[in-house]
Chains A and B, each alone.
Chain A
Amino acid sequence: MNEISDKEILDQFFNGDKNKSFSLLLKKYQERLYWHIRKIVVSHENTDDVLQNTFLKVWKYLDKFKQESSLYTWLYRIATNEALAYLKKNKPEYHLPISENESEFKDKLTDDNFFTGDEIALKLQTAINTLPEKQKLIFNMKYFDEMKYSEISEILETSVGALKASYHIAVKKIEVFLKND
């Protein structure tokens, strides 16, 4: 079954049934945005909160969407913005020294019922968590989501060159972490 296009969703929203088009938009994007947010905020419960906020904002502002960017890009930007704002507001270990962050992060993940990764996955997530937020974003979008640099560039409004360099540095840091841990 072919996935509905963004154009059809928007046509339906602006010229037809708003509720129906929003349901179609949810169906198409909820899972993608969930995983994007999850990699930023880590816990399932926090992701659920942020995802709800994201779609509430989408519902509220879709009629003002000027289509200067693609719907896909606009949705990802809102999700990214909401996730980063949530972290700034709620991340308790935000102000702790890095070493305390690491062990606290590892413990939280180990205790999380919705983390079932093995020892390597735990190490990898801990390594990723040490990266600055934007570098973490870039790494996750490139490594796990396998997005093209051009797509990431549109979403984060950062040049492809800067993204490539940032990803390269992130990879080096993670590899050092994995070797030493």
Chain B
Amino acid sequence: MSELDNIKKETGFKVPEGYFDDFSKKMEDLIIEEKKPLGIYRMLKPLLSAAAIITAVSFLSYFAYNNNSNETSNQTAEALTQEEYEEEIYSEEFIIDALANEENNYTDTIETNEEIIEYLEDEVSYNDLLAEL
């Protein structure tokens, strides 16, 4: 019997009374806010952002080109609007990639052969393996 088998399986976390009823109402109100017609500033914000980015990139490119005229670059600056950026990051593929990259960044994963062997040895006895050969 392991230590975990001996203890009660509870997180100890509690939630305030009535929280979920209040939460539903709060979200519905937030959604209504989201759907309100955009003010002039909110409407123009993506365009202003794009214009600012394009201006900044053009300026920097001009500067870089004049200072480094021997360099050639095939890169083109892409200005994404805020909407396009969020759409990209919340596509299913991006979420999958983000989580896959999280996995690759962890040093303490089961990617070493030693850890896999250690795990397998716990589950399968050596004699059983030899008997199957």
A52 with B26: CB separation less than 8 A:
yes
- Shortest beta-carbon distance, A146 to chain B, in Å? 9
Residue B100 CB within 8 A of the other chain: yes
Number of interface residues of B (CB under 8 A): 43
Total A-B residue contacts, Cβ distance less than 8 Å? 143
- Shortest beta-carbon distance, B89 to chain A, in Å? 9
Name the CB-closest residue of A to B95.
A77
Residue A15 CB within 8 A of the other chain: no
With a cutoff of 8 Å between Cβ atoms, the chain B residues found around residue A39 in the complex are 11, 13
Scan A23-67; emit 1 where CB is below 8 A from any B CB, else 0. 100110011001100110010100010011001110111001110
- Shortest beta-carbon distance, B13 to chain A, in Å? 6
A132 with B108: CB separation less than 8 A:
yes
With a cutoff of 8 Å between Cβ atoms, the chain A residues found around residue B107 in the complex are 132
Residue B86 CB within 8 A of the other chain: yes
Docked Cα-Cα span, A179 to B4, in Å, equals 10
Our pick among A35, A44, A175 for the contact of B4 (Cβ within 8 Å) is A175
Residues 105-127 (chain A) with a chain B CB within 8 angstroms: 109, 114-118, 120-122, 124-125
Name the CB-closest residue of B to A125.
B12
- Using known A-B contacts A23-B24, A121-B10, determine if residue A166 contacts B109 with beta carbons closer than 8 Å: yes
- Shortest beta-carbon distance, B94 to chain A, in Å? 9
Residues 1-47 (chain B) with a chain A CB within 8 angstroms: 2-4, 7-16, 20, 23-24, 26-28, 30-31, 34
Residue B52 CB within 8 A of the other chain: no
A23 with B28: CB separation less than 8 A:
yes
**Selected interface stretch from B56-64, B66-74, B115-123, B124-132:** B115-123
B106 with A124: CB separation less than 8 A:
no
Our pick among B23, B90, B102 for the contact of A133 (Cβ within 8 Å) is B102
Ranked nearest first, the 7 interchain pairs of A and B with the lowest CB-CB distance are A117-B12, A121-B12, A165-B110, A175-B3, A178-B3, A77-B95, A165-B119
A sample of 17 cross-chain residue pairs with beta-carbon separation below 8 angstroms, ordered by A number, consists of: A26-B23, A27-B24, A56-B31, A59-B34, A60-B90, A66-B92, A114-B16, A115-B14, A117-B13, A121-B12, A134-B106, A135-B108, A135-B109, A157-B103, A158-B99, A165-B115, A174-B3
